[in-house]
Amino acid sequence: MHTVLALETSCDESAAAVVRHKADGSVEVLASQIASQVEEHALWGGVVPEIASRRHVEALPTLVQAVLRESALSIPELNAVAATVAPGLAGALMVASVTGRTLAALHQVPFLGIHHLEGHLASAALGEHAPAPPYLVLLVSGGHTELIRVGLHGEMERLGRSHDDAAGEAFDKVARLLGLGYPGGPAIQAIAASGNAKRFSLPKGRISLRGGGFHPYDFSFSGLKTAMLRTVESCQGSGVDLPMADLAASFEQVVADVLVERALRCANDHKIKQLVMVGGVAANQRLRLLMQKQGQQHGVAVSIAPLAYCTDNAAMIGAAALSRLKRGVLSSSDETGVAARWPLERADALYEALPPF
């Protein structure tokens, strides 16, 4: 059984966790702590990178001490220390990367640099009934909206993506448009619960193909954002109060419809009978219910990351590290740096003798 201390500071959540493989191969979270910066960044309407980095430096040592104490383990008893090294805010990533590499070197245990998106993919393993590959993953978060096929041996292939805003980013921007604050996902979900999702007709953005037609799996949310702006301006021009609940519900519904339709189309076209949904937007209740309902109708088994592990956390980074250890990865180079951008398809390069960055 492998046991890992994992660290995550890619954006505005400082997190540490201790996870291990149980005898049956499932992942057990021995301890998980998160220090959120949401309230501070909400004052600015979004994440301020310098503030995020400073808060990570302040919070991470305390979080590490807390999870080690809760798990009743010391670092020399661990099989590895893991940290997110890409992608994300470069300054923020440096905090977990430097901390993780330092702890690993001091206590002579391996260090594993983890791709943030691979962590999200691994978050489904933290539920009671972890899916076994092969499966299709819908990764839908503040910075990413992608469809990724995961093979029997962990190989990853992207089959669909957003060409502009990620779904979570669209939630944030529309929430700001409606004056609902940051983060947008929970704010829109709360007010949309009492709204009429059919009141406003909004576009399902599509990506044109050069030879004609549209890409069957790719996403675009910029047109939807513009349509919301025009709808709000039209309502304001009529001199009546904004129907906030109906606007929020109509927006939330069309995002859910697009994600579900294209994910299930991709699964069916590629004859994949299992779909996994992860990422912060996967916490949206309308989306979760619709995906489960439509999945059943299309003969696709749907697994969704537990609510506690949809948004950024260190347990998912630990789960990804455990998967790498199980597949024979020994360590990353202790000279591994960080990268604000790095394709998921090249995540294997993080374990080569010569680090990619």
Structural domains in the chain plus CATH codes:
3-122+312-351 (3.30.420.40), 133-304 (3.30.420.40)
Mean pLDDT calculated for residue range 79-87: 98
In this predicted model, what pLDDT tens digit does every residue of 135-169 receive, in sequence order?
Answer: 999 999 988 999 999 999 889 999 999 999 999 99
What does residue 196 show for φ and ψ, rounded to 5 degrees? -95, 105
In this predicted model, what pLDDT tens digit does every residue of 179-195 receive, in sequence order?
Answer: 998 899 999 999 999 99
203 SS3 class: coil
- Taking the whole predicted model, whether its pTM rises above 0.85 is answered as yes
Residue 168 and residue 151 in contact, taking contact as beta carbons nearer than 8 Å: no
Q: What is the CA radius of gyration of the chain?
A: 21
In whole angstroms, give the CA distance from residue 9 to residue 147: 24
Whether residue 74 is predicted with pLDDT greater than 90 in this model: the reply is yes
Mean pLDDT calculated for residue range 40-57: 92
pLDDT level of residue 115 (50, 70, 90 thresholds): very high
Q: What is the dihedral of CA 70, 183, 278, 339, to 10 degrees?
A: -80
60 SS3 class: helix
pLDDT level of residue 240 (50, 70, 90 thresholds): confident
